[in-house]
Chain A
Amino acid sequence: AQKVTQAQTEISVVEKEDVTLDCVYETRDTTYYLFWYKQPPSGELVFLIRRNSFDEQNEISGRYSWNFQKSTSSFNFTITASQVVDSAVYFCALSEAWDDKIIFGKGTRLHILP
């Protein structure tokens, strides 16, 4: 069965610090998809990235980067030079290719302190 663990329930960092949000997943499928979503204090959900299991290249988008490592079943998310606007709950999720279901982690609440 698929499972997503975000062990960090809540993190606080001072603005401009780098911060990494951890995501560990479990799946028996060889083809799967991993996702990150952001939920700012206003409550909407924002899709950030999708990564498929055959693509282990790290992804960078501005101050955001994602490190996918199949060997450790992890898909970690790093924010460089954090800003107050990065304060949000971040969810990691997993979907197996044979199944249209998606499983979310419980989320990590990130506080960026000015």
Chain B
Amino acid sequence: EAQVTQNPRYLITVTGKKLTVTCSQNMNHEYMSWYRQDPGLGLRQIYYSMNVEVTDKGDVPEGYKVSRKEKRNFPLILESPSPNQTSLYFCASSSDRNNQPQHFGDGTRLSIL
């Protein structure tokens, strides 16, 4: 079954404690991306990746890092989380650059206290 898997689904943590949200897809897709969803603001793209070792900033990259060492994985790293990063995060993948995002993970709800 085609899947994008995010972990964890929920996380409550404290300011400044580094965290990583993992994202993995089993469709051999080249394109992967991260989004955050906030009330009244809709979805905003954080980072995207066109292929292994190729990443670029989306609309709201500040405070986030990503890496793409393997095609299937695209982790989102918060080196020093702050309360304004409390949000619902989605990872997505797609087969081609102009059809993204196509498949989404189930979302990760992060609360930074």
Contact = CB atoms under 8 A, between A and B. Distances in A.
Given A33-B98, A43-B107, A45-B90, A102 B42 contact: no
Interface residues of A, number: 20
Interface string A58-100: 0000000000000000000000000000000001010101001
From A43, A100, A104, residue with most partner B Cβ within 10 Å: A100
A50 interface: yes
A46 B43 CA distance: 13
Interface range on chain B: under 10, 10 to 19, 20 to 34, or 35 or more? 20 to 34
A91 B100 contact: no
Interface stretch (B19-27, B44-52, B64-72, B74-82): B44-52
A102 B56 CA distance: 12
B97 interface: yes
Contacts of B88: 43
Nearest to B100: A102
Interface string B89-112: 010100001111111101100000
B48 A106 contact: no
B106 A102 contact: no
30 contacts: A33-B98, A44-B104, A44-B106, A44-B107, A45-B90, A45-B101, A45-B104, A46-B104, A47-B101, A47-B103, A50-B98, A52-B98, A95-B98, A97-B98, A100-B31, A100-B97, A101-B45, A101-B48, A101-B58, A101-B59, A102-B33, A102-B45, A102-B100, A102-B101, A104-B35, A104-B42, A105-B42, A106-B40, A106-B42, A107-B42
Interface of B: 31, 33, 35, 40-45, 48, 50, 56, 58-59, 88, 90, 92, 97-104, 106-107
